[in-house]
Structure 1
Amino acid sequence: MIALASHPATAALCAVLWGVAACLLPFVRLRWRHSALWALVLCGVPVLGWLTYLCGPGFGVLFLALGLSLLVWPPLGSRRRGRHGAH
């Protein structure tokens, strides 16, 4: 277990899984979106620290910027249209 935790690919995989979860944020009901956002932040900070520790500050800053961009601007393909799918 210790050898797996010290492997940079494991940290990168956790960061990618976090990114997938962040891409699903627009599909969460509006009532739970604020809580889901904070849950993503609370889960993402240790993953970001782990990734920075294993891969260096360059990767840490890169993944911080990617994570912030996912939380602030969700991907274009996942934006919901109106109630009936109208433009």
Structure 2
Amino acid sequence: MSVSLLLACLWAVTATVIAMFPSRDKHWRVAYGLIAVGIPILGFVTYQNGPWLGLIVLAAGASILRWPLIYLWRWARRKAAR
């Protein structure tokens, strides 16, 4: 297993463990941190293993961080409707 895939798996396990604990802000601060760390890891996975594995890791990350993506989609639709 390449270093980039190991980092992606570690990121996913860390996100899952963090989600198990209660949070007052519904994990939004942690989500921002996971996004900031996950984007370079995604680029590293794509660089080392190709675009298909990069897309798989992107889909896995999107399934973990689905609420920030849903809110981003809603925001973009509101901006486009103006």
TM-score by length of 2: 0.72
Instruction: State the aligned residue count.
Output: 66
Deviations 1:63-83 (A, max 9, x none): 00011101228xxxxxxxxxx
What residue is the counterpart of 2:65 in the other structure?
71
The ranges of structure 1 where at least 4 consecutive aligned residues each deviate by more than 2 angstroms after the TM superposition are: none
Q: Which has the higher helix share?
A: 2
Q: Sequence identity, in percent?
A: 35
Q: Which has the larger radius of gyration?
A: 1
- Structure 1: how far apart are the matches of 2:22 and 2:53? 29
TM-score by length of 1: 0.68
What residue is the counterpart of 2:16 in the other structure?
23
Q: How well do the aligned residues superpose, as a CA RMSD in angstroms?
A: 1.8
* Unpaired runs of at least 5, structure 2: 68-82
List aligned pairs for 1:1-80, cutoff 5 A. Answer: 9-26=2-19, 27-31=21-25, 33-72=27-66
- Structure 2: how far apart are the matches of 1:38 and 1:28? 17
Checking the alignment, whether the CA contact within 8 Å between 1:25 and 1:37 is kept in structure 2 is no
Q: CA deviation at 1:32?
A: 6.6
